């Protein structure tokens, strides 16, 4: 089983739609979680961190479910510019100093007019 798994998509949604992605992780001791965004032929960039209490940033909401070992990303009122691949990132454990990030393969979102 992969450490971090995502539905590759693509999710094809019209502008204005609400769309949600899930990401499951295998290590129950995982400590930190993030969503990154990667545009076509570009490098990944941090979208948001995922806190235990969940967090919201404008149209984006991230949630963590430790019991079921998944994190989610909800995008409301989708824009054409939201079209990208969304990467789930997990830090499995803390070992002092730098903590290795594990990336999912990404979920592709295509927003159409």
Partner 1 sequence: SAVISQKPSRDICQRGTSLTIQCQVDSQVTMMFWYRQQPGQSLTLIATANQGSEATYESGFVIDKFPISRPNLTFSTLTVSNMSPEDSSIYLCSVLDRAGANVLTFGAGSRLTVL
Positions in the binding site for partner 1 (CB under 8 A): 4, 8, 32, 34, 41-46, 49, 87, 91, 98-101, 103-106
Nearer to partner 1, 44 or 54 (CB): 44
How many angstroms separate the CA atoms of 21 and 92, rounded?
A: 20
Q: How far is the CB of 46 from partner 1 (least distance, A)?
A: 5
Nearer to partner 1, 17 or 105 (CB): 105
Nearer to partner 1, 35 or 61 (CB): 35
Nearer to partner 1, 75 or 90 (CB): 90
Q: How far is the CB of 63 from partner 1 (least distance, A)?
A: 19
CA atoms within 13 A on the CB side of 71: 33
Classify each residue of 39-52 as buried b or exposed e, where b means 16 or more C-beta atoms within 10 Å of its C-beta: eeeeebeebbebee
Query: Could you give phi then psi for residue 102, rounded to 5 degrees?
Result: -110, 125
Q: How far is the CB of 67 from partner 1 (least distance, A)?
A: 23
CA distances for 52 relative to 13, 27, 42, 97, angstroms: 28, 16, 29, 22
């Amino acid at each position: 089983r992969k450490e971090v798994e995502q539905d590759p998509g693509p999710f094809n949604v019209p502008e204005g739609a609400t769309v949600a992605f899930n990401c499951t992780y295998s290590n129950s001791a995982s400590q930190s979680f993030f969503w990154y965004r990667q545009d076509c032929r570009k490098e990944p960039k941090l979208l948001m961190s995922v806190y235990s209490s969940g967090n919201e940033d404008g149209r984006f909401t991230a949630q963590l479910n430790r019991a079921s070992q998944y994190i989610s990303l909800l995008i409301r009122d989708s824009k054409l510019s939201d079209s990208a691949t969304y990467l789930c990132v997990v830090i499995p454990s803390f070992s002092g100093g730098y903590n290795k990030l594990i990336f999912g393969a990404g979920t592709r979102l295509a927003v159409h007019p």
